[in-house]
Amino acid sequence: MAYNVKEVVANKPSRFMAGHRMCAGCGAPPVARMFLRALHEDDHAVICGATGCMEVSTFMYPYTSWTDSFIHTAFECAGATLSGAEAAYRSLKKQGKLPDDEHTKFIAFGGDGGTYDIGLQSLSGAMERGHDMVYVCYDNGAYMNTGIQRSSATPHFADTTTSPAGTKVPGKMQVRKDLTEVMASHHIPYVAQTIATANFKDLYEKAEKAIYTKGPAFVNVLAPCPRGWGYPTDELMQINKLAVDTCYWPLYEVENGKYKITYKPAKKLPIEEFLKPQRRFKHMFKPGNEWMIEEFQKELDERWEALLKLEEITNKE
């Protein structure tokens, strides 16, 4: 059904309020604001925040940017904490201690450090057990909250404080973990990959689908960081657009095992277009380092072709 996302969003109250301490040009606040706008107005939410940039900047007692119930938990246990809350809710419903017309949704937010790495075990457990909840990863590609250390979400060759680019080691030597595919391998009802800005319609629609899919859902959202990535704060939208147009960050969903790419660039741009505006990749453009860009492009092309094949294979009748 055709609709205008601007009109839909404008007519809904914000559940993620102004006054937080997130950096200018950060991708995480638009993720939270748009994701929660996908909630139906009569529904309540229990939000669980893993320790990280978003948690420490939006919930400082007695101040909060969240209008729904909020639980702060440690890096490693957002999945476990929220699954426990969801299980308690189901128990109270079963016992008749909550009214039948009361609807609560359970949503976790965690950065890539608390999701790809530290919290992966509790996230995997919550998904495998089948809790009716959504886990949202705002992926900024490093441990930004504690000093820009590399994570398993950090891209190949990126310069971080624990993978510094120098004469001996050219940045992070390992390729980026594909957590969206890891979660798809859990065979849960809904998995999606989307982006903080540049395509709000894609983010809004996937958020609504994830929230209102019965059972576990996982949404991975690219959320650029101006401090860690090294771009001017007013270029957030452009960085996001380059991420999808180079296919560094494909937009797709996996619904009941079927892949659907929700955006295919009319003209796929070379990866240099995404890398060049970011300070963390500046060493890749020095003479003699052309091989890094070539290798990065090769990895990217292989992942994109694999995704295209998955879409084709899983949608054959």
In order along its 317 residues, the chain shows pLDDT tens digits of: 667 877 777 788 899 998 899 999 999 999 999 999 999 999 999 999 999 999 999 998 889 999 999 999 999 999 999 999 999 999 999 999 998 888 999 999 999 999 999 999 999 999 999 999 999 999 999 999 999 999 999 999 999 999 999 988 999 999 999 999 999 999 999 999 999 988 999 999 999 999 999 999 999 999 999 999 999 999 999 999 999 999 999 999 999 999 999 999 999 999 999 999 999 999 999 999 999 999 999 999 999 999 999 999 999 86
Which run of H or E residues covers position 104? strand 104-111
Model's pTM, two decimal places? 0.96
Q: What is the domain extent for residue 309?
A: 5-314
Provide the pLDDT for residue 1.
60
Reduced to 3 states (helix: H, G, I; strand: E, B; else coil), residue 63 is: strand
Provide the pLDDT for residue 101.
84
Question: Measured between alpha carbons, how far is 129 from 17 in angstroms, rounded to an integer?
Answer: 33
Phi, psi of 100 (to 5 degrees): -65, -30
* Residue length of the chain: 317
Question: Measured between alpha carbons, how far is 57 from 204 in angstroms, rounded to an integer?
Answer: 23
CATH number of the domain where residue 102 is located: 3.40.50.970
* Cβ partners under 8 Å of residue 187, min gap 6: 257
Provide the pLDDT for residue 38.
95
Phi, psi of 161 (to 5 degrees): -70, -20
Q: Domain total for the chain?
A: 1
